[in-house]
Amino acid sequence: MSQPAPEFQIIVTLLAIVSEQQEQIASLTERVAMLEAKNKALANRLNWVLNSYNSYLFLS
């Protein structure tokens, strides 16, 4: 039985690398979405605190 051509082995290796990179990108994309949601929630809380403080100053 003959060995696969070196070019074929390179292609298989590159496909494995690409597949791994795609999995990492998918994982990072999920993480970015989670961090964006947390950032939005924190921004909303900060705005609430600032609005409350500004209302307090206005009423004082």
Chain segment 31-58, per-residue pLDDT in tens: 999 999 999 999 999 999 999 999 999 8
pLDDT of res. 58: 87
Is the pLDDT assigned to residue 4 strictly greater than 90? no
Written as six digits, the tokens of 15 are 């496909």
Residues 7-34: tens digit of each pLDDT: 999 999 999 999 999 999 999 999 999 9
Domain parsing of the chain, residue ranges: 29-59
pLDDT at res. 60: 76
- Give CA torsion, residues 19, 23, 25, 28, to 10 deg: -160
DSSP string, 33-54: HHHHHHHHHHHHHHHHHHHHHH
